Amino acid sequence: MDYKELVRKAYEVRDNAYAPYSKYKVGAALLTKNGKIYLGCNVECGSFGGTNCAERTALFSAIADGEKEFTAIAIVSSSNDFTYPCGICRQVLIEFGKDLDVVIAKDMEYKVLKLGELLPHSWTSEELL
């Protein structure tokens, strides 16, 4: 699948990031199964524990809107390299499926990995029920 539009949207929202401490801006675009796209950027906080990543910002917006089925998430940053989701984001995202396509990009070059590849041997709340 061609994820160029998803990557483009992630770059657009990256510019809205609030990163006065790290100067590391991240943007994410989350695609639902029905084709809707939710955007997120990182928002830093002086206490650092209150900081939220772009991936979770996008996911939480989608959840608040009633969405729970996703096919892909594109992630970009202000670095000159591919940006992978952090461990917390991987764990939160995997609650919604190990088959999620994770699209990591630099410029408009991108790679697609399955979330399960990025978080092997994971568990979800389904396995606890």
Residue environment code for 6-37, b if the CB has 16+ CB neighbours within 10 A, otherwise e = bbebbbebbeebebeeeeebbbbbbbbeeeeb
Task: State residue 121's pLDDT score.
Answer: 83
Q: At the fourth CATH level, which superfamily is domain 4-127?
A: Cytidine Deaminase, domain 2 (3.40.140.10)
Q: Is the pLDDT of residue 129 over 70?
A: no
Checking if the pLDDT of 52 tops 80, the result is yes
Q: Is the pLDDT of residue 62 over 70?
A: yes
Parse the chain into domains and list their residue ranges: 4-127
Q: Quick one: 93 exposed, middle or buried, by C-beta within 10 A (0-12, 13-18, 19+)?
A: buried
Which are the catalytic amino acids? 55
**The pLDDT value given to residue 123:** 77
To the question of pTM greater than 0.85 for the whole model, the response is yes
* Binding-site residue ranges: 53, 86, 89
- Give the model's confidence band at 48: pLDDT under 50 very low, under 70 low, under 90 confident, else very high: confident
Binding residues for Zn(2+): 53, 86, 89
CB 74 within 8 A of CB 10: yes
